[in-house]
Amino acid sequence: MLGTSRFIVSLCGLILFFFSANAQETKFSGKFYDLKFPQFVQQIEGKSAFHFYYDESTLDTFTLNVTLTDESINDALNKIFGNTIFHFSIDPLNHVFITKNKSMQTALAADFFTPENSNAPPGESQNEQVIKEKSRPGFVENKLFEIGSKSASKKNKAVITGFVKDIKNGEALPGASIYLDSVFTGIVTDQFGYYSLTVNPGIHTLEVNSLGMKEALRHIIVYNDGKINVEMKDDIPSLKNVMVTAERRSNIRSTQMGIDRLSVKVIKEVPVVFGEADILRVVLTLPGVTSVGEASSGFNVRGGSADQNLILFDDATIYNPSHLLGFFSAFNTDVIKNVELYKSVIPVKYGGRLSSVLDVNVKDGNDKKISGSGGVGLLTSKFTLEGPIKKDKTSFILGARTTYSNWILKAVPNLAYSNSSASFYDANIHISHTINSKNNLYLTGYLSNDNFRFDLDTTYKYGNKNAILKWKHIFNNKFYGLVSAGIDHYQYNVTSNSNPVNSYKLTYDINQTNFKADFTYRLDNKQSLNFGLNSIYYKLHPGGLLPYNSQSLVKADVLQSEQALESAAYLGYEYNITDNLSINAGARYSIYNYLGPHETYNYVPGLPKDASTITDTAHYPGGKIIKTYQSPEYRISLRYILPNDASIKLGYNTLTQYIHQLSNTISISPTDIWKLSDAYIRPEKGEQYSVGFYKNFNSNNIETSVEFYYKRLNNMIDFKSGASILLNHHIETDIINSKGKAYGAELFLKKLSGKLNGWLSYTYSRTLIKTDDPLAGESINKGAYYPTSYDKPHAVNFISNYKFSHRLSMSVNVVYSTGRPITLPIGVFYSNGAQRLVYSDRNAYRIPDYFRTDISVNLDGNHKIRQTFHNSWSFGIYNVTARKNVYSAYFVSQAGFVKGYQLSIFGTAIPFISYNFKF
Amino acid sequence: MNRFLTISLTLFLFLFVYIGCKKPYNPPEISVDNKFLVFDGSLVNSADSPSVITLSRTVKLTDTTQAFYPETGAAVSVEDSTGGNYVFLETPNGMYKSPPLSLNPADKYRLKITTSSGDQYASDYVEMLQTPPIDTLLWQQQKDVSIYLNTYDPSKQVKYYRWDYVETWQNRAPLESELGVENGLIYYVSNRPLDQKYNCWSTDYSTDLLLGSSVALSDAVINKFPLAVVPQNSVKINIRYSILVKQYAITEKAYQYFQILKKNTENLGSIFDAQPTQLIGNIHSVKNPSEVVLGYFTASSVQQNRIFISKDEVNNWNYVYTGRGCDVTTIEQNPANYLLYNYPDTGFSAYYFSGTTGLTLARVSCLDCTLQGGTNQKPAYW
């Protein structure tokens, strides 16, 4: 055994001489006592060109006790590991691999000097090297792959392209970072896992990092343009590696800022109420994201209101992302690959919302074999099935989820509740089809439905329906495009039929048809362009009240439908000016047309809009443009890399929003409506300046960042006192335009690997608005800035997971935030027979601070590879300390006296259990 | 329609209150004393009933010693658009009363107030609305008894209403005494029927703001508006119960004001609640228009209707008297004994003469119904 490694060492020595004469001669001296191995590695890496690869969880407790005097790396490591179970090997690129029990093969492939297809004629199929990682992990990583035909005419630059996929199921890996010779190229795979890279011909190492996957390394010799697909291995627990990983160093290297990526694995580990893994609950733990409270479906990003988030499910717009009034998110985690939240400089291809883009990416189905998974929880059950329709060509994934929450209602000893019912379901389908190496088709469908009823009287229903078809075409190595078309639908209705005379049905829906064309052109390794067009046609039915049956005297009251077309063209340019400095600049131009048929009221100019100032009605026929808004938007970000794994980034962006949610309740309620900008309601506009510092420690295992932002929002919508939103024929008379500003600092610390991983974030943020509308007729808080109801200056989130063994892990969340602002009564008076209240200025006070701790224990079944059925259990307690966090405080006149109450949503510790399986 | 939405949402949310919890809340912040002027009441166009207006000041939420702070010494009048002036006279507790006024419904009216400190306030001019008669009052029993109202405006002018009501019910002392005691002298009740203490009539006033609108209906109809609920086994229908409902037409603006007032106090507590909103009435300070003045001045005629419910009309109605026991004791007929027996506690009174020498006594609470509230004078309509 020892002999073998000596032999390898000497072979390495030979190659080292060839490649880098200096590194192998580095001598090490020093006394290392009681030193942890990772610290030793840091010292060595700091002084020499060696880079260590080892399994953190086995070696982070290994202690050194050794004296070195002018010793080579081999001698030094022999001294350290001589009598241990650990072995080391060193490859030609000064990579030191520490392994347990067995040493690793680092020898180059035998065909290094005689490439096997050196005589092959040039041509696409011949240039292609598709590498499948075999069961021996060392094999592909040590092989030297040839790119392009050796005999073809030599060029100065060669373009390498390919797909990065998951070896297990062939699923594409978007967002994977490509490193060339250990330097980040700035290139990240697109949503289909595709990348394109320009290199100088010669020998290189290609390194790919992707969230939740093991780092993949390829040695390549580049002769000419060619392809190399990289299949990555899952970072599965049996490899005793990290669960939370990110593209190491990409936080520093990428020009993007204010972006959070979450893999579904991380989401599933975070304990949540009722044990159902929930995307939105985890998103809420990220810095800069808040919500008004536990029972709210909306979330607020960097001081924006809840309707300013564009929620995309595989590019389909989801208008209501929650079930059961916000207690569950409407996404089934089993069909989701990952989630990205853009909260700062939003990529130029997205538009139409001011605060953020939450991009939920769907998994491609397993294209190798049929498999499935499922889960059973206290309130919900789910099932997912995936597999190939045609092996390696077409695959599908189907997911469905439903609830049986009725039992909770039945358990309440009160007739009003036991006569009530609540249920929901959601279903997803995603089909991906490879036509040929240049064309792919993707079809995604989404359906969700909620239904709840109170005491046999009023029934509420709401749901989303979405379908989207995408076609990806690769024109050549440098140029590819994605064209998609889809329809999005959201509707709700309310029916009441207990009193026949008053029985009614209330309906509302949004329909949108969209078309998108997005192209990426990589000029060279340093520059790339992203451009495209998109267009959305909206048709809204903003509300209709209809008699429920013939006995009903309810007068049919149907608001006119609304139509609009929102179109945009954009161009983004990314340029790596030097190795350290890169810029990403983009412009987007949007045009919005509010279209007929519509009847619009005219008002006396210069007076507050009011029913009494209506002069006449203008009639617009179908298709006629009633009002046009247009707006240029800019997105700029700059990144400068500092020494020692650190960087600084600057960003600026502007955005425009043409569709607005009207809500005068504190949180989003199911009967809130969306309204298009029209002749009176101007588009909302926002701009944000941001700056961030990023630094990694401990071989990029610990990421830290500080981001600052300042944001201005214009034409935000607020309401006059007593405004009625439902069935309002002239909503413009009840709206007040407001102006907002938000600023804050976000501190983030994330540990990516080791037994303990997770993140800690602290956010300081303020978000203030003021009435900015001389024609409103009234102003809130006398026109002064006041905090929004989601303004929470201090927020601390701690999310952690500790692995006791391969099968047993424990997660702990700790969440703290300042209490949100509320409006309190400041006086009591008598009127109409009872005590009444007079309220303070809006949001002048705050409810008590929020604090919660959750714990869960996850127990996996055995990891035997041949076992067809894998199962896991998760137990936990939500709100362990049973703190009665105040959701709202309110004051009620009861029997003529005013009493104050505080309301908690989960005012007790809630235990949960769930069972999940996979086959 | 909106009302149904709110009620249902509130119901649902109380479920989560159940899962979660509701606790008393009294933050220290709410102790600023603003003392805003508060107006309550309305101008009633009626040949036989006066208009009553109450002026008061707001008090701190934490002030438990004085919940009502009347504004006394003010000069209050109503002015019509042709210059006519109707003066209100001060009565105790910040109340100001006018004589019954027959006013011209085509005119407009406004309220004028000058406080004792000299501050002047005036309302906007308001229309004098014609209130249509109440169509029917009806009641239904489902354990509790619910009282509903139907109304209809044949002229289809009035779309917004406010109601208030007065409940009156008969209650009896547990024991019917033959005797009464006045100034230490015993008399036979049969000789002085007006001084009987066996039958009483108690009165309660509505405390909720009752608002309705027919604006969403194709006809100007209010159908089965729920006015009041009498809980099952309540003393109110132990013998006989009556409710007098008064109906006032109001304007859309007044309706909105009262809705906000109602929402701000009566409807809060669910997670989808609207933000409490600023109350902007139609009364303003003449000198400082931004000063907060609470209240909305309205003017209309009034319509009223009364129904009765007797115990034999309701099912499963078992009122349980929860006062002290009604055990009796007999003493010798002699004033000294009587006084001695009642010393030092005057809890006993004469019940009946037992034989020629005995006087049976019982607790006053068992003999005198006025101690449970109400009057022993039978109302004229009873």
Of the candidates A432, A408, A428, A430, the residue with the CA atom closest to the CA atom of residue A420: A408
Look-up of token digits 């102003």: A779
Confidence of residue A10 (pLDDT cuts 50, 70, 90): very low
- Note whether B229 contacts A: Cβ–Cβ < 8 A: no
How many Cβ atoms are within 10 Å of B363's Cβ, its own excluded? 22
- CB spacing of A825 vs B275 below 8 angstroms: no
Name the least confident of A841-845, A896-900, B193-197, B220-224. A896-900
Residue B16 has pLDDT above 50, yes or no: no
- CB spacing of A666 vs B278 below 8 angstroms: no
The 3-state secondary structure of B39-62 reads EEECEEECCCCCCEEEEEECECCC
Q: What is the pLDDT of residues A144-171, one digit of tens each?
A: 888 877 766 667 788 888 888 887 777 7
Name the least confident of A136-145, B42-51, B171-180. A136-145
pLDDT of residue B4: 36
Helix (H) or strand (E) holding A747: strand A735-751
Measured over the CA atoms of residue A839, residue A845, residue A851 and residue A852, the dihedral's sign is positive
Residue A709 has pLDDT above 90, yes or no: yes
Quote the minimal CA–CA distance from B264 to chain A in Å: 7
Name the least confident of A14-18, A179-183, A341-345. A14-18
> For strand B299-310 and strand B43-45, is the pairing parallel, antiparallel, or unpaired?
parallel
- Find out whether A704 and A715 touch, Cβ atoms under 8 Å: no
Of the candidates A800, A745, A559, A548, the residue with the CA atom closest to the CA atom of residue A662: A559
B91-150 residues touching A, CB cutoff 8 A: none
Better pLDDT: B229 or A108: B229
Q: What is the pLDDT of residues A267-276, one digit of tens each?
A: 877 766 666 7
CA distances to A48, A218, A245, A832, B145 from A249, in Å? 20, 18, 11, 67, 72
CA distances to A225, A435, B189 from B68, in Å? 88, 81, 40
Q: What is the pLDDT of residues B102-124, one digit of tens each?
A: 888 899 999 999 999 999 999 99
* Distance separating alpha carbons of residues A914 and A382, to the nearest angstrom: 11
- CB spacing of B61 vs A837 below 8 angstroms: yes
- CB spacing of A831 vs B24 below 8 angstroms: no
pLDDT of residue B8: 36
Phi/psi at B13 (nearest 5 deg)? Answer: -70, -25
Residue A64 has pLDDT above 80, yes or no: no
Q: What is the pLDDT of residues A721-738, one digit of tens each?
A: 667 777 888 888 888 888
- CB spacing of B34 vs A838 below 8 angstroms: yes
DSSP 8-state assignment for residue A365: P
* CB neighbour list of residue A634: distance below 8 Å, 6 or more residues apart: A585, A586, A587, A588, A652, A653, A654
Q: Least CA distance to A778: which residue of chain B?
A: B280
Look-up of token digits 């005419």: A153
pLDDT of residue A866: 65
Chain-wide mean pLDDT for chain A? 81
The 3-state secondary structure of A57-124 reads HHHCCCEEEEEEEEECHHHHHHHHHCCCCEEEEECCCCEEEEEECCCCCCCCCHHHCCCCCCCCCCCH
Confidence of residue A865 (pLDDT cuts 50, 70, 90): low
Q: What is the pLDDT of residues A579-589, one digit of tens each?
A: 889 999 999 99
Phi/psi at A326 (nearest 5 deg)? Answer: 105, 0
Strands of A577-624 (E only): list them: 581-595, 598-603, 614-620
Measured over the CA atoms of residue A708, residue A714, residue A720 and residue A722, the dihedral's sign is negative
- CB spacing of A666 vs B271 below 8 angstroms: yes
* Distance separating alpha carbons of residues B211 and B6, to the nearest angstrom: 14
Of the candidates B207, B299, B211, the residue with the CA atom closest to the CA atom of residue B255: B211
Q: Least CA distance to A847: which residue of chain B?
A: B27
pLDDT of residue A707: 93
Of the candidates A188, A432, A422, A448, the residue with the CA atom closest to the CA atom of residue A311: A448
pLDDT of residue A108: 52
Confidence of residue A103 (pLDDT cuts 50, 70, 90): low
Residue B300 has pLDDT above 90, yes or no: yes
Interchain CB contacts (distance < 8 Å): A and B: 245
* CB neighbour list of residue B179: distance below 8 Å, 6 or more residues apart: B186, B187, B188, B189, B350, B351, B352, B353
Chain B residues inside the 8 Å CB shell of A782: 290
Chain-wide mean pLDDT for chain B? 83
Mean pLDDT of A186-200: 82
CA gyration radius for chain B? 26
- Find out whether B307 and B242 touch, Cβ atoms under 8 Å: yes
Nearest to A826 among B61, B67, B217 (CB): B61
Residue A463 has pLDDT above 60, yes or no: yes
Q: What is the pLDDT of residues A244-257, one digit of tens each?
A: 333 455 677 777 77
Distance linking the first and last C-alpha atoms of chain A: 39
Q: Which of A672-676, B21-25, B349-353 has the highest mean pLDDT?
A: A672-676
- CB spacing of B56 vs A830 below 8 angstroms: yes
ipTM of predicted complex:
0.78
Q: What pTM was computed for the model?
A: 0.70
* Distance separating alpha carbons of residues A157 and A478, to the nearest angstrom: 12
Of the candidates B15, B57, B31, the residue with the CA atom closest to the CA atom of residue A900: B31
pLDDT of residue A275: 67
- CB spacing of A832 vs B258 below 8 angstroms: yes
Q: Least CA distance to A724: which residue of chain B?
A: B2
> For strand A673-676 and strand A684-697, is the pairing parallel, antiparallel, or unpaired?
unpaired
pLDDT of residue A569: 96
Angle CA(A488)–CA(A448)–CA(A494) in degrees, nearest 5? 90
Residue A570 has pLDDT above 50, yes or no: yes
Chain B residues inside the 8 Å CB shell of A497: none
Q: What is the pLDDT of residues A322-347, one digit of tens each?
A: 887 677 888 888 899 889 899 988 99
pLDDT of residue A25: 63
Confidence of residue B275 (pLDDT cuts 50, 70, 90): low
Q: What is the pLDDT of residues A625-659, one digit of tens each?
A: 999 999 999 999 999 999 888 999 999 999 999 99
Residue A422 has pLDDT above 90, yes or no: no
- Look at residue B369 and give its three-state secondary structure: helix
pLDDT of residue A777: 65
Residue A669 has pLDDT above 70, yes or no: no
- CB spacing of A904 vs B261 below 8 angstroms: no
* Distance separating alpha carbons of residues B77 and B57, to the nearest angstrom: 19
Q: Residues for chain B: how many in total? A: 382
Better pLDDT: A346 or A80: A346
- Note whether B342 contacts A: Cβ–Cβ < 8 A: no
Residue A129 has pLDDT above 50, yes or no: no
What percentage of chain B has pLDDT greater than the value 70? 85
pLDDT of residue B301: 93
Mean pLDDT of A853-864: 80
pLDDT of residue B273: 56
Better pLDDT: A399 or A406: A399
The 3-state secondary structure of B102-152 reads CCCCCCEEEEEEECCCCCEEEECCEECECCCCEEEEEEEEECEEEEEEEEE
Mean pLDDT of A72-78: 81
Give the strand order in the sheet containing A95-100: A51-53, A95-100, A86-90
* Distance separating alpha carbons of residues A121 and A260, to the nearest angstrom: 45
Which token pair is B190? 């049969």
Residue A3 has pLDDT above 50, yes or no: no
* CB neighbour list of residue A112: distance below 8 Å, 6 or more residues apart: A144
Helix (H) or strand (E) holding A28: strand A28-36
Q: Residues for chain A: how many in total? A: 919
- Look at residue A275 and give its three-state secondary structure: helix
- CB spacing of A454 vs B295 below 8 angstroms: no
Chain B residues inside the 8 Å CB shell of A778: 278, 280
Q: Which of A614-618, B246-250, B261-265 has the highest mean pLDDT?
A: B246-250
pLDDT of residue B195: 84
User: A367-382 in b/e burial notation, b at 16+ Cβ within 10 A?
Assistant: bbeebbbbbebbbbbb
Of the candidates A515, A623, A624, the residue with the CA atom closest to the CA atom of residue A566: A515
What percentage of chain A has pLDDT greater than the value 70? 85
Q: What is the pLDDT of residues B62-103, one digit of tens each?
A: 666 667 889 999 999 999 988 889 999 999 989 999 999 888
CA distances to A175, A239, A242 from A133, in Å? 20, 16, 20
Confidence of residue B304 (pLDDT cuts 50, 70, 90): very high
Chain B residues inside the 8 Å CB shell of A897: 67
* Distance separating alpha carbons of residues A578 and B47, to the nearest angstrom: 93
- Note whether B212 contacts A: Cβ–Cβ < 8 A: no
- Note whether B4 contacts A: Cβ–Cβ < 8 A: yes
pLDDT of residue A744: 94
pLDDT of residue A487: 96
Residue A14 has pLDDT above 60, yes or no: no
Q: Which of B61, B95, B266 to mutate to test the interface with A (most CBs of A within 10 A)?
A: B61
Confidence of residue A563 (pLDDT cuts 50, 70, 90): very high
Q: Phi-psi category of A437—alpha, beta or left, where left has phi over 0 and alpha has psi -120 to 50? A: alpha
- CB spacing of B21 vs A494 below 8 angstroms: no
Look-up of token digits 């009614």: A504
Q: What is the pLDDT of residues A885-916, one digit of tens each?
A: 887 777 766 665 667 777 777 777 778 888 88
- Find out whether A534 and A566 touch, Cβ atoms under 8 Å: no
